[in-house]
Amino acid sequence: MAGSSALIIRPMRTSDLDRIQEIERASFTVPWSRNAFYGELADNHFARYIVAQRGDLVVGYAGMWLILDEAHITNIAVHPEARRQHVGETLLRYAMAYARSQGAMRMTLEVRVSNAPAQHLYRKLGFTAKGVRRGYYTDNHEDAIIMWAELGQFDGRINPDEEAGAAAPGDAVPGAGGERSAEDRRGGRRPGDADEI
């Protein structure tokens, strides 16, 4: 899967969901359901989801909620065969640049205390630890480190309008939000499972 094809970042489409499910199952002990992703794309007007595509294959994805001047990374994952190729970093840089272009001044995420590689990446991109959520992860009750980054001075070297191009039909993200809790909407996994990158 490594290949030399250029990495393209674009909006997630409902047609990507079969592949997203493969990445989910390979990355998380409690994967989100297809319906959870569909709900994010179709019904959550705060949600923005992107994929990293190499050739014809989606190799990773990231999601966030944009609420007022803050962005919350809900998840980020890369297929095991595409890890350690800067796919996760590219996705996160793009998400940060896009959030900044939409008026977000801060971004937050949660990461497992045991996930040193992800923490290293987040620190590299300006995130700092601000707290701990005890027993946050539903699979093993592991604690999560809450990290924040200020986006006001972020220079992601990515222009969202140039990189992703125009959204194609089926790329819809806006819609009416539901009333269920974030954990319920995702089938047991909470926002911020930004683990496997």
Write the DSSP assignment of 112-179 as a string of letters.
Answer: ETT-HHHHHHHHHTT-EEEEEETT--TTT---EEEEEEE-TT---S--HHHHS-SPPTT--------S
* Residue of 118, 70, 114, 116 lying closest to 96 (CA atoms): 70
Tokens of 52: 């990293």
CA–CA gap between residue 113 and residue 7 (Å, rounded): 29
Taking CA 145 as the corner, what is the angle to CA 143 and CA 149, rounded to the nearest 5 degrees? 165
**Catalytic machinery residues:** 110, 122
Only one residue has tokens 């997630």, namely 12
